[in-house]
Structure 1
Amino acid sequence: MNRIRTASEFSRTVRSGARSGRRNVVLYGSITSGMDPSRFGFIVGKNVGNAVVRNLVKRRLREAAAIALTDNPQGLDIVVRALPASAAAGWPELSVDLDKGLNSVLRRLTARNNAAMEGEDS
């Protein structure tokens, strides 16, 4: 899978992107050039649980992201931060939260991009 790996890439996406919070996750997204493949990064801190729980949450989120990647194969960087509630969430709940969060981020990025385009036209 296309992954965000470096701290600078995580920082750029979190600071300059659109944000959407859900019960189990917070998503940050930014638009890259249209030809770059979409990439996902995951932040699962110790507040989520012990190593076993964190890895389970991470695996579930990676699978949900892989499914979402088929709909958005190019032009996005997405950072997913797992919240402590994600430790008790099952696969369906995490998957739905990631999908809804991603849709919200995409709407915000599209609105921001359209507003920037209108500003250039003036």
Structure 2
Amino acid sequence: MLSRANRLTRGDDYRHVVRRGRRCAGGVLVTHVVPHGGDDVRFGFIVAKSVGTAVTRNTVRRRLKAACRDLLPAMEKGRDVVIRALPPAATADYATLHAQVQRCLERTR
């Protein structure tokens, strides 16, 4: 699980990242990244009902959080990241989600 310091919690923060951030789209997710003045990397996740049932959405969210936790030490500090899962994420395995997150974070560097 990501620590509180590494999570976006306010709706205004989500909106700011999605509207102002650099965007990278993959087959199963869209990533938005924007720099901020802090020392932490903060993540937010958007998994809409179009992805599937509540169980499916929570599974996708947990897999995305685990992928971000694994990639956290290698990331530049002072960035906000919002990851929006697309409907194909429901059938994607962890390795696919991890690879997509890693690719998008490297491209938005």
* TM bucket normalised to smaller: over 0.9
User: Root-mean-square deviation (CA), in Å?
Assistant: 0.9
Shift, 1:73, TM fit? 5.5
TM-score (structure 2 length as normaliser)? 0.93
1:36 matches 2:53: no
1:105 matches 2:102: no
Answer 1 or 2: which has greater strand percent. 2
Point out where structure 1 has 5 or more consecutive residues left out of the alignment: 107-122
**SS of equivalent to 2:92:** coil
Counterpart among 2, 24, 46 of residue 20 in structure 1: 24
Shift, 1:4, TM fit? 0.4
**SS of equivalent to 2:8:** coil
TM-score (structure 1 length as normaliser)? 0.83
State the partner residue of 2:15: 11
Which structure: larger Rg? 1
Cα distance in structure 2, aligned partners of 1:36 and 1:11: 20
Amino acid at match of 2:44: G
State the partner residue of 1:117: none
Point out where structure 2 has 5 or more consecutive residues left out of the alignment: none
Counterpart among 67, 71, 75 of residue 72 in structure 1: 75
Counterpart among 36, 47, 51 of residue 48 in structure 1: 51
State the partner residue of 1:87: 90
Aligned-residue sequence identity (percent) comes to 36
**SS of equivalent to 2:100:** helix
Shift, 1:37, TM fit? 0.4
Runs of 4 or more, structure 1, over 4 Å off, are none
Cα distance in structure 1, aligned partners of 2:43 and 2:25: 16
